[in-house]
Structure 1
């Protein structure tokens, strides 16, 4: 076996200090906070998320917002997880190893682990859970991540994955929140049973409204799950969410109003946290619909946006400018050599002329459900584009149902992406040809070939060259305008103890706050 691709067999971690591997996470608090206390069990935490909609279900293939991600990680078990430092850590799989080509991967299942119902977790449950997202009939958003799997077999308590090509990052695949391990039943999985294997049991779920959970006392990991219970609320309205925190009705809120975050930070009962990661906000153009089929039209729209203005006025400095690709500055293969695109009305006009146009008029759909300040960002974009001869008609749409009725339906819309811990996962999920969440419907043969080749390449320098080129291709040809990377900014009550080092692959400690945080 290739020892360089072999994981340690034990957890070897503390809940509030994750320091394994090379740090790839930037995390900080905006305002000073007290020293992290030792975790203490007890209490019910109430958390209001600026996500969630009435169309949400417990079908893991459909999860796509922060409410459901937090809920998924709270009550479900996963083969692997993302540690606070960005490395991959054992979960239901206690260890894994690969052959020298990273084509055959063996994951050893942790013994003695049960679902909340008391049913033992078996290799057959794992196979059924992964197969649920595979196959021609699958509509799961995780389907592209599993496309290289040719066969899954069982060897005792070990699940063996045979891939069509090598995949150096394959263990990260199973950290995706869709890939929960659920009980097998009737040739598939029984997701309606609500029978998970996470630190909390799901006791009530009201889509778009709330979820209630209680601690699972027989959890396999005694170093997580410190609350007696969790009340998770979907409060998309920013003012209502903020009021709930200030009034003490909830202990935590995400997606703060960055215009007033400084004032909130002065309140002695609150702590403001800002974590830099891979979250980015985009304006997605459907490249299969006119006028976005024209590369020059796409380039004109990319040059017509004032990125720094959005960082200053929408993020209020809590972020950085983007360069029309989804890879963050803290990631291993971020292309630091790619020239940063800037606001240039003259270049925008040039590309319009190259497409045979003297001007352009398009509609941009936006709601703050897409990201905080999305409507304001669209208005600023409208103003900057006007100087380039581009008329943007802002289509203000409702928050509820945005992800089911607007995203990937309207040809030009505002979008947020939480990013992914490794480049392959981000590219595969959102930019590979035919991917369910390829929200620009982009299909570039060169990019697709590089994606497959980079995934299988074990030489770091060669992989870097490929990922650099992929970012360059996206920057020039892609249908996503990526003007800014946004820090995760959230607030907690003073009696909430957070992790000393917080994960940045998703909001609020990688959305694993349920298992990692506690009360004082």
Structure 2
């Protein structure tokens, strides 16, 4: 059987609006409908514009664009296994393909695979597309898939999804167009896992990733880590009529205001992940529009459990009581967010635990807990950066709350350049920014398992690890939900990550750029925009 478990899509507002347009509803009716659903006016306008464009626009071939992300470094890579920044994901989506991918509705579609099938969710047969070639002319086949998947199991590679891939105990070629995968335990999410950016397929034997020899829609012409990339259309792409663009240049503008100004001036046609403060600058500008996606992205405050002051009893609970989530939602995020409850599974996910309420803002409780920890009155640093969306604004709200109870925090604002390599996962108290992931298992495996590569607070629990494995193999949805709800409670109460809100990602784009849709893997159409957008003639 194929994996037919439903996947909630957080672009449900766009679907609702498209249906309303087809029924003849007016713009006023549709905005009223969205606002009644709790969507901010500016976000509602963006949703309406996207839905209208999706119905009315016809793709046009040709043209070159410049687009800008928000994060980059000299460690930028074209190796999908090592990708970690948004710029990496955009380039990998352009140069390579996955076996499966998630569409705008969160449904699994086939890409390099024709079918991914299993009778027991443990032993899987992957049937591959025929007639696909790599950029260098080599034919794509089963050996490439086996090589690509096995790379994640090789510790010397340093794959970011090693902890996820380790469940694949057998990866072998059956014939040129078929691959067999046997998991350690049943996991009905495998087709979704294979849609992650890291599981892009590379040619067998690849060791040099400077040229990105993939099967993707674009061929790498120029790649300068930390600077830019230039990609040109693949004339032999296996998807009919795609891509529409002849070429695109991608780079990062780390300063939010500079990214907005580049968009307004026409220097770029897409500026990714704009700060909610920017919405006012964009309103009323006919040359630009926004794409708003709420799919589980969040900025979290990370307190390492193994370092001072996080190791002191009571400190982390004090911090969680000091977080004014409503102020963060309304002020730092301008209403473009849903209040969070300190665990990574957002309300958009069908496994979200609705009974787990957000920690109440209680400065008196926080003061008592800081006193218990023996830190009340001590000046404690919090590292923030524009690299982590809205983290500086969040840090200032925490600092103000601390001042009111005699708990001074030293907000250390550091540059975006080098933040992810020098501070994230390292500083005792710092911010992170996590992109959406389509299943709880992927989130927990990457962020909270004892061996997780991005274990932001160094949370370790053998019980949690056992529950994660049990949930993977639970084909009974009631039991699986029960486990995931319990795991969310454990993270919220035991880990050192404070997740105050699930953020709506805002991408700004030229009104000439068409075809951009929401995606459950995040902004910029799940980072795959280049293959699908076009320039209006």
User: Greater helix percent: which structure?
Assistant: 2
Please point out which of 177, 190, 193 is paired with 1:173.
Answer: 193
What are the superposed Cα offsets for residues 232-266 of structure 1, whole Å, 9 maximum, x if unpaired?
12111122211111111111111224223133120
Find out whether 1:40 has 2:56 as its counterpart. Answer: no
Shift of 1:4: 5.3
Pick one of 125, 135, 143 that aligns with 2:154.
135
CA contact (8 A) 2:220 2:230 kept: yes
Taking the aligned partners of 1:359 and 1:158, their CA distance within structure 2 comes to 64
Task: For residue 231 of structure 1, give the secondary structure of its aligned residue in structure 2.
Answer: strand
Measured after TM superposition, the shift of residue 329 of structure 1 is 0.6
* Cα deviation digits, residues 19-64 of structure 1 (max 9, x gap): x976453455542535330112111121111121122122333321
**Where does structure 1 differ by over 6 angstroms across 4 or more consecutive aligned residues?**
none
Residue 415 of structure 2 corresponds to residue 398 of structure 1: yes
| CA distance in 1: counterparts of 2:2 and 2:89, whole angstroms | 31
1:424 is matched with which residue: 425, 441, 445? 441
Cα 1:505–1:167 change in 2 (3 A) is: same
User: Post-superposition shift, 1:347?
Assistant: 2.1
**Is the Cα–Cα contact under 8 Å of residues 217 and 233 in structure 2 kept in the other structure?**
yes
Inter-partner Cα distance in structure 2 for 1:388 and 1:72: 48
Deviation at 1:110, TM superposition (A): 0.9
Offset at 1:357? 5.3
Q: Show the counterpart of 1:17.
A: none
Q: Does 1:283 align with 2:269?
A: no
Equivalent positions of 1:70-149 (< 5 A) are 70-100=90-120, 102-149=121-168
Please give the residue correspondences for 1:188-337 in structure 2 after superposition, counting only pairs within 5 Å: 189-294=207-312, 296-337=314-355
Aligned to 1:184, the other structure's residue is in SS state coil
Q: Equivalent residue of 1:475, what SS?
A: helix
Q: Which residue number corresponds to residue 489 of structure 2?
A: 472
Counterpart position of 2:78: 58
Deviates more, 1:249-258 or 1:228-237: 249-258
How do 1:494-505 residues align onto structure 2 when only pairs under 5 Å count? 494-499=511-516, 501-505=517-521
**What SS is found at the alignment partner of 2:409?**
strand
Alpha-carbon distance in structure 1 between the residues aligned to 2:212 and 2:117:
31
Distance 2:369 2:159 in 1: 37
- Distance in 1 (CA, whole Å) between partners of 2:255 and 2:376 is 40
Report the alpha carbon displacement of residue 514 of structure 1 after superposing the two structures with TM: 0.9
What is the deviation of 1:189?
A: 4.4
CA distance in 2, matches of 1:507, 1:217: 27
Q: 1:22 to 1:487 in 2, by over 3 A?
A: closer
**Cα distance in 1, alignment partners of residues 327 and 10 from structure 2:** 27
Correspondence for 2:508: 491
1:416-443 deviation per Cα after TM superposition (whole angstroms, max 9, x unaligned):
1012011111111111111111121110
Paired with 2:258 and 2:112, the residues of 1 have a C-alpha distance of: 38
Aligned pair in 2 of structure 1 residues 27, 67: CA closer, same or farther (>3 Å)? farther
1:342 and 1:302 mapped to 2: Cα distance? 8
TM-score by length of 2: 0.89
Matches within 5 A, 1:6-45: 23-28=9-14, 30-31=44-45, 32-33=48-49, 34-36=52-54, 37-45=57-65
Contact 1:209-1:235 within 8 A present in 2 as well: no
User: Which deviations, in whole Å up to 9, do the C-alpha atoms of 1:81-113 show, x marking residues without a partner?
Assistant: 11111122111111011132x111111111111
CA distance in 2, matches of 1:239, 1:375: 14
How far apart, in 1, do the equivalents of 2:221 and 2:71 lie? 20
Normalising to structure 1: TM-score of the pair? Answer: 0.92
Please state whether the residue corresponding to 1:178 is helix, strand or coil. helix
Q: In the alignment, which residue of structure 1 is the partner of 2:475?
A: 458
Question: Does the aligned pair in 2 maintain the 1:26–1:277 contact within 8 Å?
Answer: no
| Structure 1 range deviating more: 259-268 or 467-476 | 259-268
User: Matched residues in 1 for 2:227 and 2:12: separation?
Assistant: 32
2:209, 2:347 → 1: CA distance? Answer: 37
Q: What is the CA-CA distance between 1:277 and the residue it aligns to?
A: 1.1
Does the alignment pair 1:5 with 2:21? no
* Cα distance in structure 2, aligned partners of 1:503 and 1:366: 28
Q: Shift of the alpha carbon at 1:497?
A: 0.8
Deviation at 1:66, TM superposition (A): 1.1
Secondary structure of 1:260's aligned partner: helix
**For residue 25 of structure 2, what is the aligned residue in structure 1?**
none
- Give the whole-Å Cα distance in 2 for the aligned partners of 1:149 and 1:476: 31
SS at match of 2:499: strand
> 1:134 Cα deviation (Å)?
0.8
CA contact (8 A) 1:269 1:494 kept: yes
- Note if contact 2:93-2:527 (Cα within 8 Å) is conserved in structure 1: yes
Structure 2 unmatched runs, 5+: 15-42
Q: What is the SS of the residue equivalent to 2:426?
A: coil
Count of paired positions: 501
Relative to structure 1, is the Cα distance of residues 448 and 388 closer, same or farther in structure 2, using a 3 angstrom cutoff? Answer: farther
